[in-house]
Amino acid sequence: MRRNVRNNWVVGRRYYGGIYYGHVRRFWRGRWWAYGVGSCWRLTPDGTYVWVCY
């Protein structure tokens, strides 16, 4: 369940064990990963995804 929570997250800052990069795709191990797709994205209690692969 996604909640509508307005937050002022800062791109590049750590949250919930990952880094928030905004709603953009990420390149990891030779592949582009869409926002929220794949095991490297972790859904936070606020309903936002953070990147957890380093």
Residue 51 and residue 40 in contact, taking contact as beta carbons nearer than 8 Å: yes
What's the pLDDT tens digit per position in 6-39? 578 999 999 999 999 999 999 999 999 999 999 9
The continuous run of DSSP H or E covering 2 comes out as none
pLDDT of residue 54: 87
Residue 32, φ and ψ in degrees, nearest 5: -90, 135
Q: How far apart are CA 45 and CA 19, in angstroms?
A: 14
> Model-level pTM?
0.82
In the predicted model, is pLDDT for residue 3 greater than 80? no
E runs forming strands in the chain = 14-15, 18-19, 26-28, 31-33, 41-43, 49-51
